Amino acid sequence: MPQMDELYDDLVNLCYECVLDEGAWRPLLEHLVASTGHQMGALLFLDQRERRPHVTSVHLCDPASVEVYNSHYHQYDPAKEVLVPRPVGSWYHDLEDLGPRRIQRDPYYQEFHIPFGMNNISCIKLHEQADSGVYLSLLTAVGARSPEMPQRDLLTRLSPHLLRAAKMSNRLQALELELARRDLLLDRHPAPVWLLNTEGRVLYCNRQAEQRLVQPQFALQGRQGRLHGKALDGRLQALIRQAAGHKGKRRAGWLPLVDEPPSQLLVTPVSEVAAMTARQQGPLVLLALLENQLQSQLLAELFQLTPAERRLAELLAQGLTPEACALRLRVSINTIRSQLRALFRKTETERQSELINLFARLQGI
């Protein structure tokens, strides 16, 4: 029993190493196979739209069997009909769920499993999304002893940690993608842009912003991880504090800069619902240097406005009333009001005049 407890502790530690290091999934699989009376193992990805599973690169199986399964035998795998409806965290054991008679008659086992030396399989659904699922499979070899009860119990004890590690790993990957998308969006934008946390520290700036900061004549400068104004620092810091204030009191503001050509610095809160707040604790403050006439695409990108919300904001900035917008867009006034509430929430504004002012300035109106 003490030895089994030590194995359990080691496996739990490996589970959580996988959260920050994708390379740890293979050592976990190796240790899991050896500790639970199996000889092979694999991570399986299932595309539920096509009902097409495939073994990932993390596996301890004959590479030839993986290639044949992914290219052909996946479509005959009887486990799909049992695995897909099951909830996350549920173990599937083919000998128990399909029965020995079904396995003996099934061409999938006779033509694929047994020729490649695979006998029984145990599989758990680790994670599920709307259109995909991730599974961990453990297999015994033909002629090998079946896992004993203490080894089955070890799997049961480990299940919550496997699920938690998979969920955390998937969440972290999603955040990494959002972060990469945010950086790509801002880097491609022609306006110099800075992202600050609520303490005023610069978390990110795009290439245009970096280039402007090194110009001697530029009105702003970076100092000790913060952004400062050379001549208007008091006003700049007040605007940053205003945009970083408590929820419900956060406001956007503008700082005219005496540059050549003349420009304005937009200092605005970024709502927590925006994708660019990924991996940040709390909302962000965005600073954008607007020199030329700028289209509404900037606001739509920064605040993740839907096409319908963006069209409404553009019409409001042109002076149309909500009722006139409803007629122009051929939708009900209730739809307009719903979109307007979404615009207020995403742009951290409270009144229509604030929203129009923000959007009109970005459009150069």
Could you tell me the pTM of the whole model? 0.51
Q: Which domains does the chain have, with CATH numbers?
A: 2-174 (3.30.450.80), 189-292 (3.30.450.20), 294-365 (1.10.10.10)
| CB-CB contact of 58 with 26 (8 Å) | yes
Q: What pLDDT shows up at residue 16? A: 80
- Of 147, 120, 127, 165, the C-alpha closest to 44 is 127
Rounded-to-integer distance, Cα 2 and Cα 260, Å: 75
Q: What Rg, from alpha-carbon coordinates, does the chain have?
A: 28
Q: Kindly give, in sequence order, each residue whose CB lies less than 8 Å from that of residue 179, ignoring residues fewer than 6 positions away.
A: 278, 279
Q: What pLDDT shows up at residue 270? A: 76
- Of 65, 95, 91, 62, the C-alpha closest to 78 is 95
Q: What pLDDT shows up at residue 275? A: 44
Q: What pLDDT shows up at residue 118? A: 92
Q: What pLDDT shows up at residue 260? A: 56
pLDDT in tens, the chain (365 residues): 447 778 888 888 888 888 777 888 899 999 999 999 999 999 888 876 666 778 888 899 999 999 999 989 888 888 888 888 888 888 889 988 888 898 888 989 999 989 999 988 999 988 887 777 888 999 999 988 888 888 888 888 888 888 888 887 777 666 555 656 556 566 666 778 888 887 888 988 888 888 888 888 888 888 888 888 888 888 899 988 888 876 667 777 788 876 656 677 888 887 654 444 444 556 788 888 876 444 456 667 667 788 898 889 888 877 889 999 999 899 999 999 999 999 888 877 778 888 877 776 555 43
